[in-house]
């Protein structure tokens, strides 16, 4: 892996976008829309949230003007990169009826390759987690693999932490370590505005050749490190992960589940904004005359009643059981299934919960009074 | 009566019972045989006898107007026929039909009740066993009532 | 309509079903049918595994394979009409075309059980996923100790595979006990629940394996009765069921605690899921 410390001026980012577009990428980056900083196709620097930051807390999100011209001066918004790598709706195949039955036509993979601008450390970790979900099992997801292999990632070291961030607790940031092609650290201070640029891959090195980049100075490298250190100290939340898996798996009947169920609306916002939630449903449909059919995969949420439906009823009928499933899966079962926690500490679920339920607070409450009601291997209590 | 005492103590229901109690019970007991199709008793008849099945199958039935007879359970070797004789009003609550040749130990209900009143230790030994058997029957009946193989309820 | 010359090979994305022709339909009971499908090439599966069956334009459902693993020239499914897709499957006629993908999931420990007594316990439609295991055990009967099959059904008219049960019963080396929840007086067999049969069946709890499939409540009571007979959790296997869409561990729906029923199950050794089994709404 090539690793070089370079620097480019602020407008060098436009050159990055142009170089990617020339190579056939659809460039996706942050932009302000509908009162939030979301991810969409960008072509020009002025489409980015220049001078904007965000204020986040439980159930609260507000973009705020910071006025210093920073391009990445915010934390994360309701979108995550999963909406591009693992789209909300995807047609898997089409079929047409034939005399002797039917024939399947498999959908082609992704259209153009995607380039992501502004991927945070927590988001890189989330992508790596979804890689394990979709690519490391016996059956891998082909459309995901195609999009993933083709994706070009320009990461960004966070210049400030968000109000609900706790990536440090999950060992998922704030510094980007691996999994990127290029990484930027924005230095907006002392009358200068430039980016320290790290090259993280051969593709990144190749693109860097097209950029007006120069080797970074010692001082610039140190300034970049100070940015990361400052962010580290700003975390809005924290989560004690020590023994957390065992704690949650041993407490399925903890009274806290009843307590949170009184607040939880089972709206599924958390699963929607979470960058690692991957659950889907499959829809088989046909046209009106029954000559053509298709199968579409759509995002789904474990908070719906349909999700666990068998034989005339839902296994998880109560809000209590559904919240318990989401949180226990995310922080505990995920480790058994995929070898790491499913949480990256991005805080989105806290911010976007309409009633401000805070996963770190729930975990702390259970930890404060564990019941230890785990059943033994004999099935007794 | 020595043979009958042995039969009493060998029946699974009385497993672990002290021999002194066996003598008391066999004093009220007799061997009975029912041919296939014969009824041991009918619903609402006085429950005068406590039956322990030694061999064969007994079908417990309920009847309802306009419906074919319903078999609610089949009991086999080692099972007991009911505790209706133990508590007032001392009446059977279902029909019991021998589904094949059946041999039972019949224990006179009044005789046994009197002996239990006189000797509470004997009464307690019997109660322990009854509660266990009835509990088993209740658990099984609950599962049966759920109709788990039927169309799932919504 | 000409009966199919074989269906076309299709590219193998995980979600793509293969169109196969129904070669035979047997009506088992009022709402249950057994379909034989004709595979394009020899179809290998292990007892306990399932396929996803697709009805054109309607949907897909997970159905256990209920045929003999030794017979690779057909794929057999026993389907009960419970919803839209299963209802459509149960009403199919010969030569209809069904989409198939699989086989998926874990399997009964048929080979591992050699040398032990085998107790197979089925409730309702649960006899269908167990039947391949019965075939497997009977094919190498001399390698096993006592073989017992307990089967509970709703009523006499709901009994599956009657002729086969009678054939097996005529063997001298297999114990078969059938019981029903309700019956009329013309039924001369057991009336009562499956767990009630367990205290009496002949097997050596120190050298036995139990394979259970049926409604979850029935399995719970059955396991309790087996534990009372001295079987350890490591000797008990059951087949679980949950909502399934992808069948390959990618959609997240079939999770049962940390296990994916489609990948880690549907057959589970009981000690591995005992901590989760019986927790309400898990």
C200 and C126 inside one domain: yes
Distance (Å) from the C-alpha of residue B151 to the closest C-alpha of chain A?
8
* pLDDT recorded at residue A308: 96
Q: At what angle do helices B109-118 and B19-26 cross, to 10 degrees?
A: 140
Distance (Å) from the C-alpha of residue A319 to the closest C-alpha of chain C?
10
Q: Which residues of B touch A (CB under 8 A)?
A: 151-154
Neighbours of A188 (CB within 10 A): 20
**Contacts with A312 from chain B: Cβ below 8 Å:** 151-154
**Contacts with B68 from chain C: Cβ below 8 Å:** 184-185
Using the Cβ of C182 and the Cβ atoms of chain B, whether some distance falls under 8 Å is answered with yes
C97 band by pLDDT with thresholds 50, 70 and 90: very high
Using the Cβ of A304 and the Cβ atoms of chain C, whether some distance falls under 8 Å is answered with no
- Cβ contact, residue pair C15, A318, below 8 Å: no
Examine residue C59 and state whether it is found in any structural domain, yes or no: yes
The dihedral built from the CA positions of residue C226, C230, C231 and C234, taken in this order, carries a sign that is positive
Check if the beta carbon of residue B81 is closer than 8 Å to that of residue B53: yes
**Ordered per-residue pLDDT tens for chain B, 154 residues:** 568 999 999 999 999 999 889 999 999 999 999 999 999 999 888 999 999 999 999 999 987 777 778 898 999 999 999 888 888 889 998 899 999 999 999 999 999 999 999 999 999 999 999 999 999 999 899 899 888 898 776 5
- Six token digits for residue C6: 């074989």
Check if the beta carbon of residue B82 is closer than 8 Å to that of residue B109: no
**Contacts with C13 from chain A: Cβ below 8 Å:** 92-93, 106, 142
* pLDDT recorded at residue C11: 41
A286, A65, B142: which is closest to C218 by C-alpha?
Answer: B142
The number of distinct structural domains making up chain C is: 2
Using the Cβ of C3 and the Cβ atoms of chain B, whether some distance falls under 8 Å is answered with no
Average pLDDT over all residues of chain A: 93
Neighbours of B141 (CB within 10 A): 15
Query: Does residue A378 carry a pLDDT above 50?
Result: no
Mean per-residue pLDDT, C258-274: 97
Instruction: Give first-to-last CA distance, chain B, whole Å.
Output: 59
A109 band by pLDDT with thresholds 50, 70 and 90: low
* pLDDT recorded at residue A105: 85
Query: Does residue A322 carry a pLDDT above 80?
Result: yes
- Six token digits for residue C33: 């049918």
Q: Length of chain A, please?
A: 381
Task: Give the span between the Cα atoms of C77 and C245, in whole angstroms.
Answer: 18
Q: Which candidate in C2, C10, C13, C220 is best for mutational testing of the A interface (most A CBs within 10 A)?
A: C13
Query: Does residue A374 carry a pLDDT above 70?
Result: no
Q: Show which subunits contact C, needing at least 3 CB pairs below 8 angstroms.
A: A, B
Q: Are strands A101-106 and C255-256 parallel, antiparallel or unpaired?
A: unpaired
Distance (Å) from the C-alpha of residue C74 to the closest C-alpha of chain B?
28
- For the stretch A337-356, pLDDT in tens is 999 999 999 999 999 999 99
Instruction: Count how many pairs of residues, chain A against chain C, have C-beta atoms within 8 Å.
Output: 157
Kindly give, in sequence order, each residue whose CB lies less than 8 Å from that of residue B84, ignoring residues fewer than 6 positions away.
B47, B90, B91, B92, B93
Neighbours of C149 (CB within 10 A): 25
Tell me which of C138 and A374 has the higher pLDDT: C138
C169 and C201 inside one domain: yes
- For the stretch A255-314, pLDDT in tens is 999 999 999 999 999 999 999 999 999 999 999 998 999 999 999 999 999 999 997 789
B143 → closest Cβ in C184, C187, C217: C217
3-state SS, residue B120: helix
The least confident of A151-165, A166-180, B131-145, C78-92 is B131-145
Place of tokens 């995807």: A90
- Cβ contact, residue pair B97, C82, below 8 Å: no
C164 and C93 inside one domain: no
Nearest CA in chain C to B74: C191
Mark which residues 333-352 of A lie under 8 Å from C by CB. 333, 336-337
**Contacts with C195 from chain B: Cβ below 8 Å:** 139-140, 143
**Contacts with B55 from chain C: Cβ below 8 Å:** none
Mark which residues 176-235 of A lie under 8 Å from C by CB. none
Place of tokens 């649960």: C126
Using the Cβ of A108 and the Cβ atoms of chain C, whether some distance falls under 8 Å is answered with no
Q: Are strands C208-213 and C117-123 parallel, antiparallel or unpaired?
A: parallel
**Contacts with C152 from chain B: Cβ below 8 Å:** 149
- Cis before residue C125, ω within 30 degrees of 0? no
- Cβ contact, residue pair C154, B150, below 8 Å: yes
Nearest CA in chain A to B149: A311
Examine residue C278 and state whether it is found in any structural domain, yes or no: no
Examine residue C75 and state whether it is found in any structural domain, yes or no: yes
ipTM: 0.93
* pLDDT recorded at residue A108: 67
- For the stretch C180-219, pLDDT in tens is 999 988 898 999 999 999 999 999 999 999 999 999 989 9
- Cβ contact, residue pair B59, C191, below 8 Å: yes
Using the Cβ of B59 and the Cβ atoms of chain C, whether some distance falls under 8 Å is answered with yes
Instruction: Count how many pairs of residues, chain B against chain C, have C-beta atoms within 8 Å.
Output: 70
Domain B2-145 has CATH 3.60.130.10: no
What is the CA angle C280-C281-C282, rounded to 5?
Answer: 95
Mark which residues 289-348 of A lie under 8 Å from B by CB. 311-313
Q: Where are the alpha helices (DSSP H) in A187-241?
A: 202-208, 218-232
- For the stretch C160-179, pLDDT in tens is 999 999 999 999 999 999 99
What is the CA angle C111-C117-C118, rounded to 5?
Answer: 65
A127, A47, A53: which is closest to A84 by C-alpha?
Answer: A127
Angstrom CA distances, C106 to A100, B147, C51, stand at 33, 28, 12
- Cβ contact, residue pair C274, A376, below 8 Å: yes
Using the Cβ of A307 and the Cβ atoms of chain C, whether some distance falls under 8 Å is answered with yes
**Contacts with B61 from chain C: Cβ below 8 Å:** 185
- Cβ contact, residue pair C56, A302, below 8 Å: no
C136 and C185 inside one domain: yes
* pLDDT recorded at residue B65: 72
Q: Length of chain B, please?
A: 154
Query: Does residue C9 carry a pLDDT above 70?
Result: no
Q: Which candidate in B101, B144, B151, B153 is best for mutational testing of the C interface (most C CBs within 10 A)?
A: B144
Check if the beta carbon of residue A151 is closer than 8 Å to that of residue A116: yes
Classify each residue of C122-143 as buried b or exposed e, where b means 16 or more C-beta atoms within 10 Å of its C-beta. bbbbbbbbbbbbbbbbeeeeee
**Contacts with B151 from chain A: Cβ below 8 Å:** 312
- Cβ contact, residue pair C8, A103, below 8 Å: yes
**Contacts with A305 from chain B: Cβ below 8 Å:** none
C232 and C167 inside one domain: yes
* pLDDT recorded at residue B154: 55
A379 → closest Cβ in C233, C249, C263: C233
Output the domain CATH number for residue C82.
2.40.30.10
Nearest CA in chain B to C31: B151
Using the Cβ of C136 and the Cβ atoms of chain B, whether some distance falls under 8 Å is answered with no
Rg (CA), chain C: 19
Range of the domain at C192: 117-239
Query: Does residue A379 carry a pLDDT above 80?
Result: no
Q: Where are the alpha helices (DSSP H) in chain A?
A: 12-22, 82-85, 121-135, 142-150, 202-208, 218-232, 244-249, 255-261, 269-273, 319-328, 334-338, 348-352, 359-368
Nearest CA in chain C to B136: C196
Distance (Å) from the C-alpha of residue C99 to the closest C-alpha of chain A?
9
Examine residue C208 and state whether it is found in any structural domain, yes or no: yes
Neighbour order of strands in the sheet with C236-239:
C190-191, C175-180, C147-153, C117-123, C208-213, C236-239, C267-269
C92 and C155 inside one domain: no
Examine residue C273 and state whether it is found in any structural domain, yes or no: no
């Amino acid at each position: 892996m090539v690793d070089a410390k370079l620097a480019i001026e602020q407008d060098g980012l436009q050159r990055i976008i142009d170089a990617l577009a020339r190579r056939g990428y659809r460039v996706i980056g942050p932009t302000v829309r509908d009162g939030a900083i979301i991810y969409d196709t960008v072509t020009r620097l002025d489409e980015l949230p220049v001078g904007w930051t965000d204020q986040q807390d439980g159930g609260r999100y507000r973009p705020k003007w910071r006025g210093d011209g920073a391009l990445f001066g915010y934390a994360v918004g309701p979108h995550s990169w999963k909406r591009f790598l693992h789209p909300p709706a995807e047609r898997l195949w089409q079929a047409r009826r034939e005399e002797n039955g039917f024939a399947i036509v498999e959908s082609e993979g992704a259209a153009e390759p995607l380039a992501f601008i502004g991927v945070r450390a927590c988001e890189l970790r989330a992508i790596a987690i979804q890689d394990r979900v979709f690519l490391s099992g016996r059956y891998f997801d082909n459309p995901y693999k195609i999009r993933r292999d083709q994706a070009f990632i320009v990461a960004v070291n966070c210049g400030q932490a968000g109000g609900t961030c706790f990536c440090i607790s999950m060992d998922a940031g704030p510094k980007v370590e691996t999994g990127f092609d290029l990484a930027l650290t924005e230095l907006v201070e002392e009358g200068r505005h430039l980016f320290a640029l790290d090259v993280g891959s051969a593709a990144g090195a190749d693109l860097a050749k097209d950029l007006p980049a120069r080797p970074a100075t010692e001082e610039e490298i140190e300034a970049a490190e100070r940015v990361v250190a400052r962010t580290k100290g700003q975390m809005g939340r924290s989560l004690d992960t020590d023994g957390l898996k065992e704690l949650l798996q041993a407490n399925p009947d903890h009274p806290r589940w009843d307590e949170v169920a009184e607040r939880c609306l089972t709206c599924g916002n958390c699963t929607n904004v979470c960058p690692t939630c991957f659950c889907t449903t499959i829809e088989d449909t046909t046209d009106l005359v029954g000559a053509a059919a298709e199968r579409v995969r759509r995002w789904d949420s474990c908070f719906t009643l349909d999700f666990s439906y068998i034989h005339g009823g839902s296994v998880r009928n109560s809000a209590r059981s559904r919240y318990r499933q989401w949180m226990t899966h995310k922080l505990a079962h995920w480790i058994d299934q995929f070898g790491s926690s499913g949480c990256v500490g991005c805080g989105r679920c806290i911010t976007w919960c309409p009633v401000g339920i805070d996963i770190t607070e729930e975990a702390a409450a259970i930890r404060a009074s564990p019941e230890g009601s785990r059943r033994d291997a004999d099935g007794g209590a | 009566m020595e043979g009958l005492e042995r039969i009493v103590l060998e029946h699974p229901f009385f497993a672990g019972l002290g021999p002194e109690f066996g003598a008391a019970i066999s004093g009220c007991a007799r061997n009975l045989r029912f041919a296939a199709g014969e009824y041991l008793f009918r619903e609402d008849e006085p429950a005068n006898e406590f039956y322990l099945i030694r061999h064969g199958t007994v079908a417990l039935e309920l009847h309802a107007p306009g419906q074919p007879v319903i078999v609610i359970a089949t009991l086999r070797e080692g099972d007991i026929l009911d505790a209706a004789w133990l508590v007032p009003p001392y009446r059977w609550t279902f029909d019991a039909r021998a589904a094949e040749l059946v041999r039972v130990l019949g224990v006179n209900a009044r005789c046994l009740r009197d002996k239990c009143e006189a000797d509470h230790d004997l009464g307690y030994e019997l109660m322990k066993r009854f509660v266990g058997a009835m509990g088993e029957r209740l658990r099984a009946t609950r599962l049966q009532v759920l109709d788990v193989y039927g169309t799932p309820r919504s | 309509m000409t009966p199919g010359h074989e269906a076309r090979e299709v590219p193998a994305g995980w979600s793509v079903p293969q169109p196969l022709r129904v070669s035979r339909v047997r009506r088992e009971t009022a709402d249950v049918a057994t379909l034989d499908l004709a595979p394009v090439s020899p179809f290998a599966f292990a007892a306990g595994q399932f396929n996803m069956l697709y009805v054109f334009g309607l949907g897909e459902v997970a159905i256990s394979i209920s045929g003999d693993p030794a017979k690779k020239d057909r794929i057999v499914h026993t389907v009960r009409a419970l919803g839209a897709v299963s209802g459509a499957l149960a009403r199919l006629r010969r030569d209809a075309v069904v989409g198939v993908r699989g086989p998926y999931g874990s399997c009964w420990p048929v080979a591992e059980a050699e040398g032990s007594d085998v107790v197979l316990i089925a409730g309702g439609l649960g006899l269908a996923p167990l039947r391949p295991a019965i075939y497997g055990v009977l094919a190498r009967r001399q390698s096993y100790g006592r073989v017992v099959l307990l089967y509970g059904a709703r009523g006499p008219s709901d009994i599956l595979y009657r002729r086969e049960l009678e054939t097996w019963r005529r063997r001298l080396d297999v114990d078969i006990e059938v019981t029903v929840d309700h019956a009329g007086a013309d039924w001369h067999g057991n009336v009562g629940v499956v767990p009630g049969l367990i205290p009496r069946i002949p097997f050596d709890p120190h050298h036995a394996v139990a394979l259970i499939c049926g409604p979850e409540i029935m399995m719970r009571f059955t396991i309790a009765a087996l534990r009372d007979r001295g079987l350890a959790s490591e000797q008990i296997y059951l087949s679980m069921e949950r909502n399934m869409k992808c069948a390959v561990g990618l959609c997240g729906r079939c999770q049962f605690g940390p296990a994916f029923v489609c990948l880690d199950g549907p057959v589970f050794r009981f000690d591995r899921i005992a901590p989760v089994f019986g927790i309400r709404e898990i």
